[in-house]
Structure 1
Amino acid sequence: MAFQLHPRLQQDCIVLGNLPLCKVLLIKEDIGPWLILVPRIEELKEIHHMTDEQQIQFIKESSAVAQLLEDNFSPDKINIGALGNLVPQLHIHHIARFTTDVAWPGPVWGNTTGVIRAQSSQTQLVDLLRDKLSNISGFKR
């Protein structure tokens, strides 16, 4: 069986491309930017189930994505987390948080409006993120 993205992630996100280990997604909701890294490993549920080499590669990719968010959006905080209660496939959230966002200072889960970004804003953000991601070694659209 080959790697497949969980249907919920397919529904809620736009695929931006792939880093060497992870698929990079953008949450469609109008908060953030909110990126998700999904290691392209079949049936993976937990970080500690990856090999040492995969864990190191994940940390490199996660750090590069966090740096991208910090450099390009100047958030007040970057939240990084893996819950997986509704989507068991390992996926790690990277969220640019601002004191002005609807959920601040609480967590985004259960504290947002669910409003999807307007199409023009979505397209602009996708283009910007893909351009910035292209500066990370190994990124492919």
Structure 2
Amino acid sequence: MVEFTLDPQLKADSLPLAELKLCTVRLMNDSNFPWLVMIPQIAGAEELIDLTPKDQHRLTDEIARVSKVLQAETGCDKLNVASLGNQVRQLHIHVIARFEGDAAWAGPIWGKMPARPYEKASACTLIERIAAALL
């Protein structure tokens, strides 16, 4: 049996935040946008259809849970939830807090500006707040 391993690109671009029943949740290391990524811990999963129906439902529940927490913690105007996978094939879901007037509003965030890594203290504070609300 193949074990789940986190894609190296996702690992390099994000910081660990929390472990849910299905997903590992990580903070994207880009302070331009409060942005979480959820990765179902299923070896070889690239598409939603690679999950069992039970895990598909669990994923939907976890997306809703993470989305509510991110919205509450940031006071965002809009949440963007997406699974693209064009650059990283491993199944992962982006949950992004958006604000009217942010640098990429009202378009997608990808390719608008270079990532601006968090300062360590700022990342730790945000991770602690979101993790506490999730767990």
TM-score higher than 0.5: yes
Code of the residue aligned with 2:94 in structure 1: it is H
Unaligned 5+ segments in structure 2 are: none
Runs of 4+ in 1 over 4 A off after TM superposition: none
Determine the structure 1 residue equivalent to 2:28.
27
- TM-score relative to the length of structure 1: 0.91
Deviations 1:89-132 (A, max 9, x none): 00000000011321111101111331112222111111111111
Would you say how many aligned residue pairs link Structure 1 and Structure 2?
134
Which range moved further: 89-98 or 101-110?
101-110
Partner letter of residue 123 of structure 1?
C
Runs of 5+ unmatched residues, structure 1: 135-141
Q: Which amino acid aligns with 1:19?
A: L
In structure 1, the residue corresponding to 2:94 is in which secondary structure? strand
Partner of 1:73: 74
Alignment of 1:17-96 (within 5 A): 17-96=18-97
Find the counterpart in structure 1 of residue 4 from structure 2. Answer: 3
TM-score (norm 2): 0.95
Secondary structure at the counterpart of residue 109 of structure 2: coil
**1:26 alignment partner, SS class:** strand
Distance across 2 between alignment mates of 1:13 and 1:64: 20
Quote the Cα distance in structure 1 between the aligned partners of 2:69 and 2:128: 14
Whole-angstrom CA distance in 1 between matches of 2:32 and 2:130 = 15
Report the 3-state secondary structure (helix = DSSP H, G, I; strand = E; otherwise coil) of the residue aligned with 1:107: coil
Identity of aligned residues (%): 36
Bigger drift between 97-106 and 37-46 goes to 97-106
